[in-house]
Structure 1
Amino acid sequence: MKRDTRLVMLLLLVIGCSLTSLTIWKVLSSRDRALAEVDVHGLNLTQALNTYTEGIVRQSSLLLLGLVERLETEGSGPVQIQRISTLINLQQPLMPQLSGITIYDHQGRWLLSSNRAIPEGANSSDRAYFIHHRDDPSAEPFIGPPIQSRANQEWVVTISRRFNDAAGNFAGVVAVTLGVENFLRVFGKLDVGQEGAIGLSYADGTLLVRYPFREQDMGRNFSTSPIYSKYLVDRPVGTAAYTSSLDGVERLYAFRKSETLPLITTVALGKHEALAAWRIEAA
């Protein structure tokens, strides 16, 4: 009788341990699936945002190319600038993401501003994009770091091209400004939770736009963060998990490097928030 009782107890113990092990395995497996789903969701968002950004930059570059062609063919005298101004007024409503278009001469003096009157003595020869084009003969567009407009303090990202005179010498710069607020409006329509974040950065780690917006982060370089120093070294797209150096929140990151532009899109979701549904299921 005692032997039978011991066998029954042993059998129940084995069954209990098996059920416990199975339950633990199912709970951990469901956690892995939840994290995998977050990674897929993040990668899908980076693809959509990357396509959106590339489209805006491509439109801006084509607009600049047309203006440069006119300036190099017809010149940049008062009559030519007035004709270009008329053309811009017709085209700009088709690109609502543009804050403005500005033309500068070879000394950085403003020749045209599409969205406001030219300030007295306005000169932008100290801006990064002007210096780049003055010193680099390339005709390729340049995406500049985020800057604050001197007229209204609005944060903008610039895309610019150089134009030359008839002798092939540097004659000035044409730049479009993209309002950071437009990017934030689009990013804000995506549900990334209370702890989530979306970022658009230059390939060297310079932050162009971040949602939620934090002014102290604008133009900050994150090249030493794990995304740039560890993960982007050998792959253009992927996922990672680590604690943010900005606010100490552990996040699940998805990142994607543009195939055509020196830009990187990141989407981060708070790990605690991402596993909320799993915790309820596990309990």
Structure 2
Amino acid sequence: MRANRAAETGASDEAAGATAPATPRRLLAALALVVVGGMWIYTAWTIHDLRRQAWDSARHDALGLLGTSERAIARDIELYDLSLMTVSSRLNLPTLDGASPELRHLGLFDRVSQARGYGSILVLDEKGHAFLDSGSLVPRRLDGSDRLYFTIHRDALETGLFIGRPWRTRLSGRDMIPLSRRFAYADGSFAGVIVGAIELAYFREVLDRLKGSRDFTVTLDFTDGSEVMNTGQPTAADAPGLREARQVGPWPLRLSVFLPATAIDRAWKPQTHIVLALALLLSLGILGVVGLLHREFSRRERAERQALAARAELERLAATDALTGLWNRRHFEVSVTRCAEPAERARWALLSIDADHFKGFNDRYGHPAGDRALKQVAAVLCGRAAQAGGSAFRVGGEEFALLVRCEPGEAAMLAESVRAGVAALGLPHADHPRGILTLSVGMAHGALAPAASLQGWIDAADAALYAAKRQGRDRVCHAGAQESHPPPRLSAAG
């Protein structure tokens, strides 16, 4: 039986302490979250860095391939252009005018034009007819008057080296890029065109050799966007991947390389599988350890709660009267110390209560009946104390006390309610003048005696009880209502 609200509050405090959130478990969960979260953030950063390194490496390879390819093609064009300029500079030499065809052929054409991949050099007159051929002493018949490489030099005074669009030659039937230069008479008038060509297959072979087995697509086109050739399948302009481009020397040619994103991904994505697998294994390991520790913490907390509950029960039993379920004298001595300070005591009332003629009740009806009567009295006291928000105590055999925080008027009504409640039980008592069991109540309120000490306050409540007994019992007396100096039965210190 709980004696009052204070008892319930004390029990709830103990329960709250036993079921309070476990700080170690929260710290462990937070630490696990930080570690696992940090590990996955690092994993994400590692994957991002792997991708960045793969793209940086691909860009480095692309620029290297682009530079090497540009130098190779520029060198071929320069070498072939030197052959064209050599022919142009030697055509008007007087020493070659009267030379034999063989000697003139050797003097005009070097061996560069005979290299693999290079086409023959032809010299066309002002009407576009070939009259010199590096590939034959007897010039092959060719009319190039309709070709752009001829008309552009005929119509423009200074063109320099002209690189034309790819075309299939009439002589060999191969796809080639024409290279041509204008030559003039001594007075500067148009005399004809020196034209040669480089095979597209040769350029493709050079580029294929330079890129090797890598997945690059190398494209050679004019700066106006018209394509000359490429080493792979044509790719859409918006296809995902890496693109780099560079102009070939001073000429209107451009080299570009393309590496598809799928090829770059093959360099870094397989590594992410290993990284993700390791991260997953570590995460599962950490969570497993955390789960084991969490279970151990839970087991310990259950044991601690059980120990706290057992301790609280032992403390309750030690502070509770075994017969009535009210707080015992020991608990009264602890509880009353909260009123030690006068300012606090001014808010409290102390009721000292005694069952009238109870020795005679026991002698007549026996101790078992007396115990039953005390339980019924205790039930009334407990109920009234609970309603008032106070505590009820059994401080002796038939002696009780109530400690309530209330105003003086409320304390007086509570004391009368306690007395009337027991009288209303109508417990038969043949040795009592009224024939029923009654109570005598002495009440002392801290606000009515602010100068009194704690022990003096307790003695005042006890003195009021004795006054009630002297005045005929079954009544309530207030401290200070009349002079009375009986020996004290309650004390603050026991």
State the TM-score, normalizing by the size of structure 2. 0.47
- RMSD value, Cα: 2.8
Q: Answer yes or no: is the 8 Å Cα contact 1:159–1:177 preserved in 2.
A: yes
Match of 1:269 among 245, 259, 262: 259
Give secondary structure in 2 for the equivalent of 1:189: helix
Aligned to 1:124: 144
In structure 2, distance between residues paired with 1:273 and 1:263: 27
Give secondary structure in 2 for the equivalent of 1:152: coil
Shift of 1:149: 1.0
Q: How does 1:57-76 map to 2 (within 5 A)?
A: 57-74=77-94
Indicate whether 1:281 and 2:301 are aligned: no
Q: Which runs of 5+ in 1 are unaligned?
A: 218-243
In structure 2, distance between residues paired with 1:79 and 1:202: 41
In structure 1, distance between residues paired with 2:227 and 2:256: 11
| 81 and 178 in structure 1: CA distance in 2 versus 1, 3 angstrom threshold | farther
Aligned to 1:223: none
Q: Answer yes or no: is the 8 Å Cα contact 1:161–1:173 preserved in 2.
A: yes
Shift of 1:53: 1.4
Q: How does 1:160-179 map to 2 (within 5 A)?
A: 160-179=180-199
Residue identity in the other structure for 1:245: A
Aligned to 1:203: 223
Q: Answer yes or no: is the 8 Å Cα contact 1:74–1:80 preserved in 2.
A: no
In structure 1, distance between residues paired with 2:101 and 2:258: 45
Indicate whether 1:148 and 2:168 are aligned: yes
Aligned to 2:343: none
Which shows bigger deviation, 180-189 or 195-204?
195-204
Q: Answer yes or no: is the 8 Å Cα contact 1:193–1:270 preserved in 2.
A: no
| 100 and 94 in structure 1: CA distance in 2 versus 1, 3 angstrom threshold | closer
Q: How does 1:22-171 map to 2 (within 5 A)?
A: 22-74=42-94, 83-87=103-107, 90-92=110-112, 95-115=115-135, 118=139, 120=141, 122-138=142-158, 140-171=160-191
| 32 and 16 in structure 1: CA distance in 2 versus 1, 3 angstrom threshold | same
Aligned to 1:232: none
Give secondary structure in 2 for the equivalent of 1:190: helix
Shift of 1:80: 7.7
Indicate whether 1:184 and 2:204 are aligned: yes
Shift of 1:76: 9.9
In structure 2, distance between residues paired with 1:54 and 1:194: 22
In structure 1, distance between residues paired with 2:77 and 2:150: 18
| 40 and 266 in structure 1: CA distance in 2 versus 1, 3 angstrom threshold | same
Match of 1:245 among 236, 247, 251: 236
Q: Deviations over 1:186-221 (max 9, x none)?
A: 111133657531122222223223213x7xx8xxxx
| 191 and 19 in structure 1: CA distance in 2 versus 1, 3 angstrom threshold | same
In structure 2, distance between residues paired with 1:93 and 1:86: 12
Q: Answer yes or no: is the 8 Å Cα contact 2:113–2:121 preserved in 1.
A: no
In structure 2, distance between residues paired with 1:26 and 1:87: 66
| 205 and 167 in structure 1: CA distance in 2 versus 1, 3 angstrom threshold | same
- Based on CA coordinates, which of the two structures has the bigger radius of gyration? 2
Give secondary structure in 2 for the equivalent of 1:274: helix
Which shows bigger deviation, 154-163 or 250-259?
250-259
Aligned residues: 252
| 150 and 61 in structure 1: CA distance in 2 versus 1, 3 angstrom threshold | same
Residue identity in the other structure for 1:97: G
In structure 2, distance between residues paired with 1:34 and 1:207: 29
Q: Deviations over 1:205-240 (max 9, x none)?
A: 23223213x7xx8xxxxxxxxxxxxxxxxxxxxxxx
Shift of 1:63: 1.2
Match of 2:247 among 244, 252, 257: 257
